[in-house]
Amino acid sequence: MAEHETATLPFDAGADADAGAGAAADAGAGVGVEAGAAGSSAVEAVWDQRYSGPDRLWSGQPNGTLLAETAGLAPGRVLDVGCGEGADALWLAEQGWQVTALDVSRVALERAEAEGRRRGVDVAWLHSGLVEAALAPRSFELVSAQYPALFRTPGNVAEHTLMDVVAPGGTLLVVHHPAPTVSEAKVHGFHPDDYVSPANVAALLDDKWVVEVDEVRPRHVATGAGSHHTHDVVLRARRLA
């Protein structure tokens, strides 16, 4: 989760094999958590509490859609938005990607960093929200946002940030669950329009982008907090210039 201004969260935000809130090298493998602007302290506290249990929140496996949609991509620099406990980021690093992974939850990042040390994997862990991180434009060959909880704003700041940090020729991958109905969302204290969806991002893509995938597909996840979801909304777009 990355761009909330309140502590209200969509139910199962970031819910899948592993995904999370947002989003200096230490001895040995695993790049230490870099301090950044983590956004609202109330939101950070909510996600830290969610990750504070003794057990892993997600399954610990990388998201299946990420594996499928990156199969033909040459490794380069990748941004993992809302990395949670780090399953996606660590898998990407093991495939040869240079990974920056951000999340607003320091607890989640500490878990991710510890797993990276255990596996001997280098990742730049960034404690920040997406917009607050102030990342350099056009700096990643892949930007992956798996089930992010990004708060919408009148200027579509989060959506534009996702797009702006993709390098020419690079890929933007946004995956989410189908939006709940207004009544379903109300039970959990939010409105579906409060949060960025793949459709919101797709609506902003211009002729500098080629949409390669824009579809709803079945998903099969047996464990973790999001295992009850049965479909994914997948947007994959390539930046031309």
Look-up: residue for tokens 């039970």?
187
Q: pLDDT tens across 2-41, in order?
A: 332 223 345 455 444 444 444 322 222 334 455 444 446 7
Phi, psi of 16 (to 5 degrees): -170, -155
Task: Determine which of 38-52, 119-133, 187-201 has the lowest per-residue pLDDT on average.
Answer: 38-52
Q: Average pLDDT for residues 223-230, to the nearest whole number? A: 51
Q: Which domains does the chain have, with CATH numbers?
A: 64-239 (3.40.50.150)
Cβ-contact 165, 137 below 8 angstroms? yes
